[in-house]
Amino acid sequence: MNGEQYLIMAYVVGVVVLWGYGALLWLEARAMTRAESNASAPAAPAAPALEE
């Protein structure tokens, strides 16, 4: 491998690791938003099976 190939390898590794973590956080934030909206949805009536 020559110097240019090592250079490209270093920048690809750097960009993939750093921005990859950013992308993971973004996906986690989206999942969190969904979980929050599910949690604020009105709850189902409690334990109807027991009442029967």
> Other C-beta atoms within 10 Å of 6: how many?
10
The count of chain residues that interact with other proteins, using the rule CB under 8 A, is 29
34 contributes a contact to other proteins by CB under 8 A:
no
Q: Judged by CB under 8 A, does residue 46 bind other proteins?
A: yes
Distance CA 12, CA 42 (A): 47
Q: How many residues does the chain have?
A: 52
> Where do contacts with other proteins occur on this chain (CB under 8 A)?
1, 3-4, 6-7, 9-11, 13-15, 17-19, 21-22, 25-26, 28-29, 32, 35-36, 39, 43, 46-47, 50-51
